[in-house]
A and B are shown apart, each in its own frame.
Chain A
Amino acid sequence: MDWLEEIALRDRQSIHAILTSKSIDDSATDPRLGGADRLKRIKEQIRRLRFPRLADTEDAIRAKIQELKLHPEIRVSVPPGLEGGQVRIEFAAASHAELKQLTTKLTEATDNASMPEIFDLLAGQTSK
């Protein structure tokens, strides 16, 4: 509710107008979604409205991570709210051979141009 009030204050519109805006209304009326998923989607949309630039930066980072074309066993993530400025890289190996394969893939991903761009986005360098 705080987020809705803050959006209303910032955008000078009523909470009713926010809740009936297209992005939220689309989620609320999407026939493909069950009740829980619908609520989750509505919350996501409200968060996007409340934190538009944070959401845009998160989207941009997500897109860059996809461009890395990582091995499915390697997971790259950034902290919630992008606080901390660090990229977290996780993988698990069941053998030495698998470990070597994953680290090779990771090294290839590190050389991908998208990797430094992720760090740039985390450091507020949005112009690149």
Chain B
Amino acid sequence: MKPFQPEELIVEQGSEASPIYRNLRRALPSDVPFRFVGEVSRRIGDGLSITDRFGAAKKKLYLAKHKGEFFKKCPGSDGQVCCNYFVINFASNCPMDCSYCYLQEYLADNSELKVFSNVGDLIDEADQVLRKHRGMFFRVGTGEITDSLALEPLTGMVGELMPYFVEQPNVLLELKTKSDCVDSLLDFDPKGRVVVAWSMNPQRVIDWDETDTASFGERLSAALRCQQAGYRLGFHFDPMIEYPGWERDYQAMIEEVFATIDWKVLSWLSLGVLRNTPGLKRTMRERFPGTQLLTGEQVLCPDGKLRYFQPLRVEMYRKMVGWIRRAAPTVKIYLCMESKEVWQQVFGYAPACEKDLGNQMASGAESAWL
């Protein structure tokens, strides 16, 4: 994977005392210019088309204080089975450029690639929630509006958070990535509190639609290194893409994953098909006019998202579950943003409610360590 290097580092005044600033200055080559600004503006690239604006936003890195809440419930999708997940957003946007990325729509008006400098506030906020609810077990992810590890060689953000999270009795921190940037993790003892998870697709899909991400082989090697360092792992086969010959590629991918990784260190696997919205499709058409993802047999679902029509995607899920089960008979598998009807058709059951699935996931994660 080609390391990310911004064209410029822009630091909001007040952020220079942050350990992230120190890490950035240490990691960035001296020829990367940096400058201080009073406040990070949301007006990057005004006057440019969406193509230029979103693409341009990924080239500069901002360091700024986050003014809102860090710790939030994952919004999920209306009417779909939810896994009761929480998110911590320590950065916004991503240096990678997947054609299907929902951030193109979600962050269309706020697309600066930003990392937040007030790590102390983040930890304080998480600490308040975790202490107040010691009887609850939290699955927390950092990869909702950024990649958890793609910026790690520059920011050292995860390295700053790890010492706190590994000591908490009621949390499992999930670091979700398409990168191979795991070096900084290998020095920590995760103490059963950290899951490193990869979004996985066959190399053919990575070549077509996951620009500037690590190759399949690089992701798998990084996962193996984390396994050897004592981490729990996760894999998200999401978004699954349907194309002529997809079965051959996905089955081979799963076989390679389980030939490399001990499935007993997996906390969970998730499956999800390509999802977009009419608005995201317009952006994709503009930014990635040649992508075949635009041509799938997707229909509009009640939650406003386009998915492959139900019989087709249920068949895809069922095949994937079969291939996974052959190698990992009891690994926890869940569907991301799918209805109870789809769960029923794939697994023969559906979680009773979101807490039900959340508890199953949390207990699976906990029992592996207790």
Contact = CB atoms under 8 A, between A and B. Distances in A.
Interface in B199-244: none
Given A86-B341, A124-B315, A9 B294 contact: yes
Given A9-B292, A54-B297, A54-B299, A126 B311 contact: yes
Q: Is the interface of B mostly helix, strand, loop or mixed?
A: helix
A46 to B, nearest CB: 14
A121 B345 CA distance: 11
Contact of A83 (B292, B297, B302, B318): B302
A56 to B, nearest CB: 10
Interface string B275-299: 0000001000100001010110101
A113 interface: no
Contacts of B302: 83-84
A37 to B, nearest CB: 25
Contacts of A123: 311, 314, 345
A10 B342 CA distance: 27
B294 A124 contact: no
Contact of A6 (B294, B313, B315): B294
A115 to B, nearest CB: 16
B310 interface: yes
B107 interface: no
A18 interface: no
Contacts of A9: 290, 292, 294-295
A65 interface: no
A119 B295 CA distance: 27
Given A84-B302, A85-B341, 10 more contacts: A7-B295, A54-B309, A54-B312, A57-B311, A82-B309, A122-B345, A124-B310, A124-B314, A124-B316, A124-B318
25 contacts: A6-B294, A6-B295, A9-B290, A9-B292, A50-B297, A53-B297, A54-B297, A54-B299, A82-B309, A83-B301, A83-B310, A84-B339, A84-B341, A85-B310, A121-B311, A122-B310, A123-B311, A123-B314, A123-B345, A124-B310, A124-B311, A124-B315, A124-B345, A126-B311, A126-B315
